[in-house]
A and B are shown apart, each in its own frame.
Chain A
Amino acid sequence: MIQKKVCMLGTFAVGKTSLVRRFVESIYSDKYHTTVGVKVDKKLVQVGETELTLVLWDIEGTESENDLRKSYLRGAGGYILVADGTRQDTLYKALAIQSSAEETIGTVPFLLLINKADLADQWSITEREMTALREKGWEVIVTSAKTGSSVEGAFQTLANKLVEV
């Protein structure tokens, strides 16, 4: 059995905690609670023959990449960037956070989740932006913690990458 530490990164209210809850407990709640510090959760996933325990560090949302507590990132096997599909600025902040994270822990597998797919009518991130990122080699997945759409798959994708490394 292998364990990997995975950090959830992104600015405020993009749905990091909701994604973790949806993935770990299959629960979604409309109530917004801001995470203070960090909340640690875990989930067992299967990658081929390997059992992998994802220890998920749901880190508090930060206004900018400078506020990110680097010590929480230490030792992470991978991370998940989360942006809010209805707020374009969250994507730019996610990009900044990504470069800050890479500076801190080096090149490790990561995903970019564009969350809140259920709010299609308020969507403000363009297909072009996503394509550009994909061309850079990024894994970009549109998810919804509310409906659960693509959430399981996204975590599984990261799990696969973590085992390959």
Chain B
Amino acid sequence: MTRPVAQGILDEEASANNASDEGTMAELRSLLLGPTETQLAEVHTRLFDPERQLEEVSRVLPDAIAVRSRQDDELTTVLGPTVAAALEHSVRKDPKPLADAIFPIMGPAIRKAIAAALSGMVQSLNQTLTHSLSVQGFKWRWEALRTGKSFSEVVLLHTLRYRVEQVFLIHRETGLLLRQVSQGESVLHDVDMVSGMLTAIQDFVKDSFTSDQGDQLNTMQVGDLTVWVEQGPLAILAVAIRGTAPQELREVIQETLERIHLQYGQALKNFAGDAAVFADTEPLLEECLQSGYDVEHQPASSARKLNPFTIIVGVILVTLLVAGFFWLRDRRRWNAYVEKLRSEPGIVVTDEGKQGGKYFVSGLRDPLARDPKVVMEGTGVAVDAVVERWQPFQALAPDFVLARAKSSLDPPATIKLTVHDGLLEAEGFASHQWVVETRRIARLLPGVSQFEESKLLDLDRIENPLLMFEFDKTQLRPNQEDHLNQLGSDIRRLQHLAGQQKVRLEITGHTDGSGTEARNASLSQGRADTVADMLRKTLPASTNLTITTVGSREKLREEMTEDDRATNRSVTFKVIVSDPH
């Protein structure tokens, strides 16, 4: 208040004293009012100099805003449109700074909203999938049992879908590697160069493919490795993945990148080559080292309900299985039968198989061989299920040669036939007629090249020799001893060959037609007795000799000459074989 009054006094004095005293007055004024004047000038400046005003206001503005904000929210209301307009202006001018600024908060917010919307849907989906898990579970358990692996190992094998092998944090501006973590063996070596190269490729892509400002390289494929690249304003996260990673992993990577921006934003901006400050990002990066196990994905495909198609296929399979079993059984039986036929003597199988639903077998069969139907017994093959076609033939096996010989020669019981290497041998004794017949036929039999008769006795040798006597006497004519001796040895041989069979030698005495019947009867008796007595001397006691007397009733010859009569004066022999039983 004092200053304006002082000013008024000064003004009055100045107009009164005029210019003559101006110098003195000025001096006086300055002496009296010096400090005040300076102060006044300063006030003047502060009031009217815009620059000073700016300075003044800026000094109190933050506090003023704070004070006013505490009182009411008028300021917010007033500033609202201005701030909105300013933001709008800023975005229109260059959206990047604002986008960069809100990048760390926008991502999570958007993802949270989407995740909330999706979670309900996913939950119901998960439930459906879990229900169908049991079948798969059993399958895996069975596989674990079969292979001897542990159950968890099998599940791991079936469900491991991807694994993050390595994570790189790269400084965007310089392309320098800030930090890297890996699990297992590192798949990328010389990571400093890799990160540089990654950045260079990013730059190249951005320069070369710019259709839109936000476009960037997100994925790279290196063999079975996939490299996912996520870019933030200040840093890049590159992740090397083996297998097929789900899209959710990308969210994890984005989230990690955002957190790094939030926590290390300043460090990233000021980065001058020393990566040590980023050592603490390791736990964050390790969160990206995820492995994906396919729990709900895999069973979904195998969780099939029984549908008509499955049932039909099942029925067909079972039918095929049963039919296959019977077919196999029939086949085995048939093969066994054919095998048996093949090993059957006198049967040669040339073809066999199945035709028109029936088995057939054809070949050669010796009429003497066993009937194939007999062979079939016990093999399980039905007789009426088989068609047989046999051509007759003569087998040359010894058995068959022998059988054929027996049927052709019809040997008496006293003969035993054998075949060996084409040699037919007869052992025993038989009538002269049979012996002659056999000699003729034997050589003509198939499979016989020679007839051996050294052990064969022709009964003619015993029954034929005629022992002649003197006229009207029971005495042998001279020179008949040799005949008798020969006869004796032949009879002994006969006895030997006969073996168990009982052999009886019937001796019949004969006379010529002269003389009385009574005389002839006694003569023939006497002659037979004479020979019997002589034979008994050389033959074993057991020899069965019987005597028959016929007198002149059974003449050996009609008596026309003296020779005929001499022949009739004789004894004849007959061999009679009887079964021992």
- A: residues with CB less than 8 A from B are 1-5, 37-38, 40-42, 52-53, 55, 57, 69, 71-72, 74-77, 162, 165
B203 and A69 form a contact (CB under 8 A): yes
A75 and B175 form a contact (CB under 8 A): yes
Q: Give the complex CA separation of A4 and B174 in angstroms.
A: 8
CB distance from B517 to the nearest CB of A (A): 152
Within 8 A of A (CB), among B172-220: 172-177, 190, 192-193, 196-197, 200, 203-204, 206-207
Known contacts being A3-B275, A55-B196, is A72 close to B173, with CB within 8 Å?
Answer: no
- What residues of chain A lie closer than 8 Å to B171, measured between beta carbons? 75
B276 at the interface (CB under 8 A from A): yes
Q: Give the complex CA separation of A72 and B274 in angstroms.
A: 20
B356 at the interface (CB under 8 A from A): no
Within 8 A of A (CB), among B152-183: 171-177
Q: Give the complex CA separation of A57 and B198 in angstroms.
A: 12
Task: Give 16 A-B pairs besides A55-B175, A74-B173, A165-B272 with Cβ atoms closer than 8 angstroms.
Answer: A2-B273, A3-B192, A3-B273, A4-B174, A5-B175, A38-B200, A40-B175, A41-B193, A42-B192, A55-B192, A57-B175, A69-B204, A69-B207, A74-B203, A75-B171, A77-B174
- What residues of chain B lie closer than 8 Å to A55, measured between beta carbons? 174-176, 192-193, 196
**Chain B residue at smallest Cβ distance from A73:** B203
- What residues of chain A lie closer than 8 Å to B272, measured between beta carbons? 2, 77, 165
Q: Jot down 28 A-B pairs with beta carbons below 8 A, ordered by A.
A: A2-B272, A3-B174, A3-B176, A3-B192, A3-B273, A3-B274, A5-B175, A5-B176, A38-B197, A38-B204, A40-B175, A40-B200, A42-B190, A42-B196, A55-B175, A69-B207, A71-B207, A72-B200, A72-B203, A74-B173, A74-B174, A74-B203, A75-B171, A75-B172, A75-B173, A77-B174, A77-B273, A162-B273
B206 and A71 form a contact (CB under 8 A): yes
Q: Give the complex CA separation of A140 and B207 in angstroms.
A: 32
CB distance from A84 to the nearest CB of B (A): 24
Contact of A75 among B174, B193, B275 (CB under 8 A): B174
A53 and B192 form a contact (CB under 8 A): yes
Q: Give the complex CA separation of A75 and B273 in angstroms.
A: 10
- What residues of chain A lie closer than 8 Å to B177, measured between beta carbons? 3
Interface centre among B171, B174, B204, B276 (most CB of A within 10 A): B174
- What residues of chain A lie closer than 8 Å to B204, measured between beta carbons? 37-38, 69
B207 and A57 form a contact (CB under 8 A): no
Interface residue range, chain B: 20 to 34
Q: Give the complex CA separation of A43 and B523 in angstroms.
A: 154
**Chain B residue at smallest Cβ distance from A2:** B273
**Chain A residue at smallest Cβ distance from B191:** A42
- What residues of chain A lie closer than 8 Å to B175, measured between beta carbons? 5, 40, 55, 57, 75
**Chain A residue at smallest Cβ distance from B193:** A40
B203 and A1 form a contact (CB under 8 A): no
Q: Give the complex CA separation of A72 and B171 in angstroms.
A: 14
CB distance from A150 to the nearest CB of B (A): 25
- What residues of chain A lie closer than 8 Å to B275, measured between beta carbons? 1, 3
Q: Give per-residue flags for B273-291: 1 if the beta carbon is below 8 A from chain A beta carbons, else 0.
A: 1111000000000000000
**Chain A residue at smallest Cβ distance from B273:** A2
- What residues of chain A lie closer than 8 Å to B276, measured between beta carbons? 1
Interface centre among A3, A42, A74, A75 (most CB of B within 10 A): A3
B193 and A42 form a contact (CB under 8 A): yes
**Chain B residue at smallest Cβ distance from A52:** B273
**Chain A residue at smallest Cβ distance from B192:** A42
- What residues of chain B lie closer than 8 Å to A1, measured between beta carbons? 274-276
CB-based closest 10 A-B pairs = A75-B174, A40-B196, A75-B173, A71-B203, A2-B273, A5-B174, A38-B200, A3-B176, A40-B197, A42-B192
- What residues of chain B lie closer than 8 Å to A2, measured between beta carbons? 272-274
B273 and A4 form a contact (CB under 8 A): yes
Q: Give the complex CA separation of A162 and B176 in angstroms.
A: 15
Interface centre among A1, A55, A71 (most CB of B within 10 A): A55
CB distance from A161 to the nearest CB of B (A): 13
CB distance from B238 to the nearest CB of A (A): 14
- What residues of chain A lie closer than 8 Å to B200, measured between beta carbons? 37-38, 40, 57, 72
**Chain A residue at smallest Cβ distance from B174:** A75
Within 8 A of A (CB), among B237-283: 272-276
- What residues of chain B lie closer than 8 Å to A40, measured between beta carbons? 175, 193, 196-197, 200
CB distance from A123 to the nearest CB of B (A): 34
CB distance from A53 to the nearest CB of B (A): 6
- What residues of chain B lie closer than 8 Å to A37, measured between beta carbons? 200, 204
**Chain A residue at smallest Cβ distance from B275:** A3
- What residues of chain A lie closer than 8 Å to B273, measured between beta carbons? 2-4, 52, 77, 162
CB distance from B216 to the nearest CB of A (A): 12
Q: Give the complex CA separation of A71 and B273 in angstroms.
A: 18
**Chain B residue at smallest Cβ distance from A53:** B192
Q: Give the complex CA separation of A1 and B175 in angstroms.
A: 16
CB distance from A8 to the nearest CB of B (A): 13
Q: Give the complex CA separation of A57 and B128 in angstroms.
A: 54
A75 and B176 form a contact (CB under 8 A): yes
CB distance from B551 to the nearest CB of A (A): 146
- What residues of chain A lie closer than 8 Å to B197, measured between beta carbons? 38, 40
**Chain A residue at smallest Cβ distance from B171:** A75
- What residues of chain B lie closer than 8 Å to A38, measured between beta carbons? 197, 200, 204
Q: Give the complex CA separation of A109 and B200 in angstroms.
A: 21
Q: Give the complex CA separation of A3 and B197 in angstroms.
A: 15
Q: Give the complex CA separation of A57 and B197 in angstroms.
A: 9
**Chain B residue at smallest Cβ distance from A74:** B173
Q: Give the complex CA separation of A135 and B438 in angstroms.
A: 145
- What residues of chain A lie closer than 8 Å to B203, measured between beta carbons? 69, 71-72, 74
CB distance from B302 to the nearest CB of A (A): 47
Q: Give the complex CA separation of A71 and B203 in angstroms.
A: 6
Interface centre among A2, A40, A76, A77 (most CB of B within 10 A): A40
CB distance from B485 to the nearest CB of A (A): 129
**Chain A residue at smallest Cβ distance from B198:** A40
Q: Give the complex CA separation of A165 and B273 in angstroms.
A: 11
Q: Give the complex CA separation of A69 and B200 in angstroms.
A: 11
Known contacts being A55-B176, A75-B176, is A5 close to B274, with CB within 8 Å?
Answer: no
